[in-house]
Amino acid sequence: MALKLYDDRMSQPSRAILIFCKANGIEFEEVKTEIAKKQHRSPEFAEVNPMKQVPAIVHGDFKLFESHEILIYLASAFPGIADHWYPADVRKRAKVHSVLDWHHSNLRRGSAGYMFNSAIALALGLPLNPEAAAESEKLLSKSLAMIESYWLQGDGPFLLGNEKPSIADLALVCEIMQIEAADENERERILGPHKRILKWIEDTKNATAPHFDEIHSIMPLARQMLKELKVQASKP
């Protein structure tokens, strides 16, 4: 049964799903749906996802959106996916869900809010909002500190002290990688103080090599695009 993945590699949840599929040998057809070209707002795409957001999948006659859920579905519906990605044990699984739930209202909200208000708004023809960006950066930094002091505590290098990554590691690390699209000084200000986070990114990259780097090869382009938009916006 064919799996179609509607994504935009500029979007961090899209990248998490791409890496998961490639790292687990799941075959799929990538249907690029570029947000900057408003392809996610087309009537054709509304048939795939009425919420008009990427990523989304179509698997046979089954349609699904929301990135965490797509990761859970892929880990459950495809045979031979290693247990560490989405453990069968009820309690271990509950902990993975718990991180993903927490992610929504904390790391993701801070990170997406920061990137949007400090840069990405320009790509949609909207003005930047430095106050909202500063507010989001507070939540982002608080979330990074909480990952270090709580979620990454334990014996293993991954979330929940695991020896191998789960879908939560992939979702959260891809979210943090979005900050690569910011200016170097912003990235240093936000991520620099969090050495444990930087090690975790490396561990996740190594655990999913070479796919992690391949899928993130778009980041310099994203950074360049946002830089140019800022230069343009600053012109009188």
**Residues lying near a copy of itself in the complex (CB under 8 A):** 50-51, 62, 64-66, 68-69, 72-73, 76-77, 90-91, 93-95, 97-98, 101-102, 104-105, 146, 150
Q: Classify residue 119 by its DSSP letter.
A: I
User: With respect to a copy of itself, which residue has the nearer C-beta, 44 or 89?
Assistant: 89
Least distance between a copy of itself and beta carbon 147 (Å)? 12
User: With respect to a copy of itself, which residue has the nearer C-beta, 98 or 217?
Assistant: 98
Least distance between a copy of itself and beta carbon 60 (Å)? 10
* Sequence-ordered alpha helix ranges (H) in 120-165: 121-123, 130-146
Q: Which distant-in-sequence residues (6+ apart) come within 8 Å of 109 by Cβ?
A: 136, 139
Task: Tell me whether residue 195 is exposed, middle or buried, using C-beta atoms within 10 angstroms of its C-beta: 0 to 12, 13 to 18, 19 or more.
Answer: exposed
User: With respect to a copy of itself, which residue has the nearer C-beta, 106 or 208?
Assistant: 106
User: With respect to a copy of itself, which residue has the nearer C-beta, 124 or 221?
Assistant: 124
- Contact present, 115 and 186 (Cβ < 8 Å): no
Least distance between a copy of itself and beta carbon 70 (Å)? 8
Structure token digits, residue 161: 């002290």
**CA distances in angstroms from 235 to 22, 133, 149, 228, listed in the order given:** 42, 21, 43, 11
Beta bridge partners of 63: 58
Least distance between a copy of itself and beta carbon 222 (Å)? 22
User: With respect to a copy of itself, which residue has the nearer C-beta, 83 or 202?
Assistant: 83
Least distance between a copy of itself and beta carbon 107 (Å)? 13
